[in-house]
Structure 1
Amino acid sequence: MDTPYPKYRSMRTFTTLLLSLVLAATLLAFGAGPAQADPEVKANPEGIDVSHYQGAINWGAVRSAGIEFAWIKSTEGTSYKDPRFNTNYPAAHAAGVIRGAYHFARPGSSSGATQANYFASSGGAWSADNLTLPGALDLEAGCHGLSQTAMRNWILDFYNTYKSRTGRDVVIYTTRSWWTSCTGNWTGMGTRSPLWVAHWGVSSPAIPVGFPTWTAWQFTDNGRVNGISGAVDRNHFNGSRDRLLALANNT
């Protein structure tokens, strides 16, 4: 016997369709729509580091391109703050990029403690919000007139002050050659600080003496990423996203 609705062969089918339409209308009323794909998450997260040299950055596009972490220049010495830091730092956070600040060291101009305090007070501090990395100390550009012993003491002074201010071990950014020339292959930081090593154009980085392995590796200074118009430093993270989050959250 035909039903009053010939398109459907049973009242059960019609009822099911009606309930589906009601559910869809309810979801639309509350602003729900089709599921959106999460930004790309890789087994070994990809990162960048930036300063004002990169100009305006579209952090949403950066995150959508698969970039999961970034270090952003905050300070240099005791009187310079990167002019784009106050824009980049919150914008990266809002886009879901796990980010931290970095300080370009000027060991010849003032003590490690003085520069660590300036850094921590100018954006380099840390918060347990699932998106903030510990600050990084950028050690490069020669030995700044210091002996190897004086450089070791300067780094330790910075480290101790930063840890006292933030509760975190500062990340050391350097190269093997700088570490050899300026600290004399000092082994005193390898059990304290994560290593962010710079070594471009190789299949694996040379590790400074005293560090068991690298945590982040800056593998090029000429990378390309959607959301940034020119060249940018690119980095690998040595571990899974869970390990990246553990570094961010001090767990």
Structure 2
Amino acid sequence: MPRTALWTAAAGVTLVALLGVLVANGVVWPNRILSARYDVRGVDVAHYQGAIDWDVLAAQDLDFAWIKATEGSSHTDPRFADNWAGAAGTDLLVGAYHFMSFESSGADQAAHLADQVPATAGTLPPVIDLEFYGAFAADPPTTDEVHAILDPLVAGITKHYGAAPVVYTTEDAYDLYLADRYPDLPIWIRSVAWAPQLSDGRAWTVWQYSNRDRLPGYDGVEPHIDMNVFAGTREELEALTLD
């Protein structure tokens, strides 16, 4: 191979490696361009972000935040109470999210969420986080198994909070469990590599476009923070809040 070709190949490898590092660290993220057309932006956080200075975080051109509250039928995020109180003192629209377990009943999970998260007027509706985890990533539960949990979980949340929950999900989980179902539930779709397009033609309500951003205001073991946009105006998002 000629020397010039070797230099060209080496430069190409170096460029690809550099781009990979920039993407891994969130410096370059293609979806930032695609998501820029949406004006209403927000974050979702859990204890991984550590102690959050909500005044600082809220000042980063953000409109909303969903905070992890519960998981399954018994686990509560150790920073939920602090985050809930801190975020409530800002101008952000704030809500809580529940990580759905495939290993406990939907009714028990709904009761646990209700025990931990107050039904406060003006807060965003609770979110059900429906995604694969652990061994279920390689061996997903069947549609019937998931619906047997999800149906009473949705019903319990709707009854307690007086509003239907939002469902956060991945594209794969959406196709298996949500496509052509639950038409009244707003969908929050995770799609960090490209703009989302739901397989059944349904419109998404919230789009998580990045899981690699960095913002001032938190200092946890996780250096990155998830970024999201809402498909509408802030007034339309406010219309979803609890009465």
SS in 2 for 1:247: coil
Question: Aligned pair count?
Answer: 200
**What percent identity do the matched residue pairs reach?**
33
Q: Is the 8 A contact 2:69 2:97 kept in 1?
A: yes
1:121 aligned partner, one-letter code: D
Give the equivalent residue in structure 1 for 2:233. Answer: 240
Cross-structure match for 2:93 = 98
Aligned pairs for 1:122-137 (under 5 A) are 122-123=116-117, 125-129=118-122, 132-137=123-128
Corresponding residue number in structure 1 for 2:166: 171
1:213 aligns to what?
203
Aligned to 1:4: none
Instruction: Sort the Cα spacing of 1:226 and 1:199 in 2 relative to 1 into closer, same or farther, 3 A.
Output: same
For the 8 Å contact 2:167–2:187, the answer to whether it is kept is yes
- Match of residue 4 from structure 2: none
Q: Determine the structure 2 residue equivalent to 1:117.
A: 111
Question: 1:91 corresponds to which letter in structure 2?
Answer: G
- How far 1:188 moved relative to its partner? 2.0
State the Cα deviation string for residues 148-179 of structure 1 (Å, max 9, x = none).
12212321111111111111101100012112
Residue of structure 2 equivalent to 1:21: none
User: Counterpart of 1:248 in 2: which secondary structure?
Assistant: coil
- Which of 132, 148, 152 does residue 147 from structure 2 map onto? 152
Instruction: Give matches, 1:23-42, under 5 Å.
Output: none
- Whole-Å Cα distance in 2 between the matches of residues 114 and 248 of structure 1? 24
Structure 1 segments unaligned to the other structure (5+ residues): 1-41
Partner of 1:228 in structure 2? Answer: 218
1:193 to 185, 189, 192: 185
Letter matched to residue 186 of structure 2 = P
C-alpha root-mean-square deviation of aligned residues, in Å? Answer: 1.9
What TM-score does the superposition give when structure 2 sets the normalisation length? Answer: 0.77
Q: Flag the structure with more relative contact order, 1 or 2, with Cα contacts below 8 A and sequence separation at least 6.
A: 2
* Runs of 4+ off more than 4 Å: 142-145
Partner-residue secondary structure (3-state), 2:81: helix
Distance in 2, Cα, partners of 1:53 & 1:80: 15
Query: How far 1:234 moved relative to its partner?
Result: 0.5
Structure (1 or 2) with the larger CA radius of gyration: 1
Aligned mates of 1:238, 1:186 — CA distance in 2:
19
Aligned partners of 1:220 and 1:235 also within 8 Å:
yes
Q: Give the counterpart letter for 2:119 in structure 1.
A: W
Consecutive unaligned residues of structure 2, counting only runs of 5 or more, are 1-36
1:51 is aligned to 2:7: no
1:245 maps to a residue whose letter is E
Q: CA deviation at 1:139?
A: 0.6
Normalised TM-score (structure 1): 0.74
